[in-house]
Structure 1
Amino acid sequence: MSRNPERNDRKSGPKTASKPGGKPPFKPRSGDASAEQRGPKPGGWNPNPPARAFSSAAPRPSRGKVDADGFLWGRHPVLAALANPARKGMGRLLATEDRAAEIEREGTANGHKIEVMDAQTLERMLPAGAVHQGMAFKVQPLEGVSLEDLGDPAEGIIVMLDQLTDPQNVGAIFRSALAFGARGIVVQDRHSPVLAGALAKAAAGATERLPCARVTNLSRALERLADLGWRAVGLDGDSEELLENALDHRPTVLVMGSEGDGIRRLVAEHCDVLAKIPMPGGFESLNVSNAAAVALYEATRKQR
């Protein structure tokens, strides 16, 4: 159905006569307002739309389609990526004039050519609201590591994320895991965000320094880690077991579920124990990234 306001059945020119048996043509009575004076008929088509005001201002440059997954932005994520040997010879480094001078002065470009541009041009290349701090790096996703490389030998802590999709939460968990000395992160390849964009910004460079294994099936990954000597502890707010009692000195996989659904049933069945963080304040739950930080601290303390 056409949405054109010009109705298809409207004919041009005034009607001079009515059809036999039809209504006579409308004649305005003395004192009636003209069409211009009457204005648009409420709820109907306006034959005399008001003229639009003309603006002489230049059109605002269009941001266009932005490839958020292909960019790192912000000082810490970009410098961490430049320092990553896996990034050598790849990527497109963009920076404002002052940031470019800083990178050259400190020798952190690591062989990458810097494209200098003003802040507004750089901003248009990134998603709305991206805090770029004068630098960005367009890169391909890192390949990651295999589960065997991450889990062998069995020692320390690994964090497994079951269908966490919020980039801010995942990035914050990477940051906490690196801070507490975890071996790495395990995610499911089909249900996890790319390690770039807002996630890399929230991680403050941790995605470049902490190994990440992408696997097809988390349940089978837990079976394989168990064969290698790992013990899985899943966080579940409905469990009766307290986290500090569930943890010990053995190599531990901390399994974190999404904030909405928690750990899925099959993944939970492959955990050795489910435990909760005690909350004497009576509040329902912590944000998943905060819960991960608490669990990492407790697991690290137990292993020491």
Structure 2
Amino acid sequence: MEDKKQETGRVAEEFTIEGRNAVTEAFRAGRSIDRVYILDGCQDGPVMTIKREARKQDVPIKYVTKERLDQMSETGKHQGVIASAAAYGYTELEDILRRAKEKDEPPFLILLDSIADPHNLGAIIRTANLAGAHGVVIPKNRAVGLTAVVARTSAGALNYTPVARVTNLAKTIDELKEKGLWFVCADMDGTRMYDLNLKGPIGLVIGSEGEGVGRLVKEKCDMVAAIPMKGDIDSLNASVAAGVMAYEILRQRLG
């Protein structure tokens, strides 16, 4: 059975698929699965098949207690397995680059390092669309996927701005550099963004809400940009930082 997950007092954030056969068939049908929850210690044949399918498609597996699965379950018949499926499908990185080429524009991608809040991801996708970015790239692990909340928060932008999901963000940056892209990440210790040349084919890297851009990903970036701040606190919400940086890139492109 496939349905929107609902819990008391709030709208579901994900689509869930429950039961061993349903989850197995979802994998074999090519459904975009964000994560699989499996009863800790379960090792029988059907569960091992699900594990193989998940690993084949680089889908994270999380082992949880029966109480956790019961809490997540809508049907009460999860059989020790629940999968979280994307509300929207993901695209390939090559499709995003092809989109830029078709528009005869230098590629502009926004890469997100471990954004966990679905409202932030939805807001960033909305900003990406309005600022002219050709697509958004997110990692498979330690990050929110394209849930129903993300779709709603994007205010329709998810229908127009493709999102690619990759296994390794640092490796993806290396691959995109070979295709001519430069990378800038937002960090308070960087150079003032107005003093950087952000024109041409570019990838904007935004870090997680709590920890910012990870060390390895930051080392891969060609530039580190600081957003000028005059207040009493020292950081912006991730989606706001993405918006400020994206519009500086747009300003320089238009200029």
TM-score range, shorter-chain basis?
A: 0.5 to 0.7
Alignment of 1:1-304 (within 5 A): 68-70=13-15, 141-152=87-98, 153=101, 155-239=106-190, 241-304=191-254
What SS does the corresponding residue of 2:164 show, helix, strand or coil? strand
Q: Between Structure 1 and Structure 2, whose CA radius of gyration is higher?
A: 1
What SS does the corresponding residue of 1:302 show, helix, strand or coil? helix
Pair 1:182–1:64, CA change in 2 (3 A): closer
Q: How many Å separate the matches in 2 of 1:198 and 1:142?
A: 11
Are the aligned partners of 2:111 and 2:137 in contact in 1 as well (CA < 8 Å)? yes
Q: Return the TM-score normalized by structure 2.
A: 0.63
Task: Compute the displacement of 1:207 (Å).
Answer: 1.6
Unaligned runs of 5+ in 2: 1-6, 17-73, 75-84
Runs of 4+ aligned residues of structure 1 deviating over 2 Å after TM superposition are 62-68, 139-143, 151-154, 280-283
Pair 1:287–1:225, CA change in 2 (3 A): same
Task: Compute the displacement of 1:290 (Å).
Answer: 0.8
Task: Compute the displacement of 1:286 (Å).
Answer: 1.4
Task: Compute the displacement of 1:205 (Å).
Answer: 1.2
Determine what percentage of the aligned residue pairs are the same residue.
Answer: 37
Task: Compute the displacement of 1:190 (Å).
Answer: 1.9
Amino acid at match of 1:232: F
Deviation sequence 1:87-114 (CA, Å, 0-9, x none): xxxxxxxxxxxxxxxxxxxxxxxxxxxx
| Count, aligned residues | 176
RMSD of aligned residue pairs (Cα, Å): 2.5
Deviation sequence 1:172-220 (CA, Å, 0-9, x none): 1011111111100000012222313222121111122111110000001
Amino acid at match of 1:257: G
Task: Compute the displacement of 1:282 (Å).
Answer: 4.5
The structure in which a higher percent of residues are strand is 2
Deviation sequence 1:115-150 (CA, Å, 0-9, x none): xxxxxxxxxxxx9xxxxxxxxxxx964332212222
The structure in which a higher percent of residues are helix is 2
Pair 1:205–1:265, CA change in 2 (3 A): same
Q: Return the TM-score normalized by structure 1.
A: 0.53
